Amino acid sequence: AGYYLETSSAGSATGVCKPCAPGCSTCNDGAETSCSTCATGYYAAFNIKQGGPGKCIACNISEDGYIGIANCIACYSTTAQTTDAKNVVCQQCEDGYLKQQEEGKTVCKSPAPTCVVEMCSTCVDGNPNQCEHCTTGAYLCPQTASCTKDCATCGSSMYADEDLGECQPCDIANCQVCATGLKCDSCTADSVPVSPDVYHTACLGCDDTAGMSGWTGLAGCKTCELTDKGGGSVNCLDPGYYRKGGLGAGGTAAIVIVVLLVLAVAGFLVWWFVFRKRGRSSRRGGASYTSLMRGESPDYRQSLI
C-alpha cells in the first residue's frame, strides 16, 4: 500500500513502483489528487466520496469545506454523495487527549486537571486552583475563586447569596455584617443604625451631614450615638469633639469640669484672704488692749505721778 506501478508514455508498465502522494493508501499515480483510499491520519476529500480519485487531507487540516480536528491521529469523512454536509469524525486522539462530543462534533481535548480547591465541586476549565462552583453548604468567593462556609472571611460586608451560591457585597452603605443584600446585622464603628427593625436596613455615617431617616451626622465625627429625641443631629462621642454652633458631649463635659475646678479654687482663695485679714485685725486689737491694761499710755503714766 502507498505505491503505484509506473507506466510509460506509451501506457505500458515499466515494472517500477513509485510512492503515492502523502496520505494516500492507494493511488493511480503520484499526484496528490489521484488518491483512491486514504492512510491512517487522513480523511478523503469530496471527490473520493463520489467514487473518483481525489485528495487525502490530514485529520487536523481544514480543507475542501471540511473542518479538521486538532490533536486527532485517526479519522474519516462522512460526506455522502447525496448531501452537502461535510464532517470529519475522529476515531483516535493523540496521547494525553480525550475524545469528546461538542455541539454534535467529535473533538480531542486534554483531560481536566484534578481540582485542588477545598469544598469545590467544579474548577475553572484548565485551572485546578480556581473554583467555579462550590459544594452544597459552601459559597464561592469571587475575588479569590475559593470556597467558604462563612462569607465574613471572604471580605468586609459580604453575605451569602443562597440562589447564586456565592458571597456577594452588601448593598447597604456602612454595613459591617449583612444578613442579606438588604438587611444589615451590624453597622461599622463609624456609623449607627437608623432603622427600628430587628435587622437594620440603614446605617448613618457619624460624619454624614446629608443625613437619612430624619437623622444627620456631624462633620468630622468618628463615633456617635442617637439621642432620645427621635431625630436631628447625632450625639458625637469623640473625646473633645467640637462643632460649630455647639459642643459635643465630650467637649461639654470637659468644660463643666474645668469651670467647677476654677470656681473651687476661686472660692478657696477668697476664703483664705478673708480669714487671714480677720486674723490680723484681731491680733492688733488684742495688743492695744493689753498695753492699756499695763499702763503703757503716756497719759496714764503721768496721772500716776
Q: Which residue type does 269 have?
A: L
- Are 74 and 41 in contact by the 8 Å Cβ rule? The answer is yes
Q: What is the dihedral of CA 69, 73, 74, 75, to 10 degrees?
A: 10
The dihedrals phi and psi of 294, each to the nearest 5 degrees, come to: -85, -5
Smallest CA-to-CA distance from 248 within 228, 266, 272, 224 is with: 224
Domains and CATH numbers, the chain: 3-109 (no CATH), 112-169 (2.10.220.10), 171-258 (no CATH)
For residue 88, give the H/E element and its range: strand 88-93
Q: Which residue type does 191 have?
A: S
Cα(112)–Cα(122) distance, rounded to whole angstroms?
10
pTM over 0.85: no
Q: Which three cell numbers stand for residue 125?
A: 476549565
pLDDT value at position 54?
84
Strand duo 215-216 + 232-233: pairing: parallel
Q: Give counts: helices (H), strands (E), the chain.
A: 3, 26
Q: What is the dihedral of CA 206, 207, 209, 211, to 10 degrees?
A: -30
- Are 108 and 95 in contact by the 8 Å Cβ rule? The answer is no
**pLDDT tens over the chain, length 305 residues:** 788 888 777 667 677 899 999 999 998 888 888 888 899 999 988 776 667 788 899 999 998 888 999 999 999 988 655 455 678 899 999 988 989 888 888 899 888 778 899 999 988 877 899 999 999 999 999 999 999 999 988 887 889 998 899 999 888 888 888 877 778 888 899 999 987 666 677 899 999 999 988 899 999 999 999 988 888 999 999 987 875 444 444 555 667 787 888 888 887 787 777 776 666 555 555 545 444 444 445 554 454 44
- Could you tell me which residues are beta bridge partners of residue 168? 159
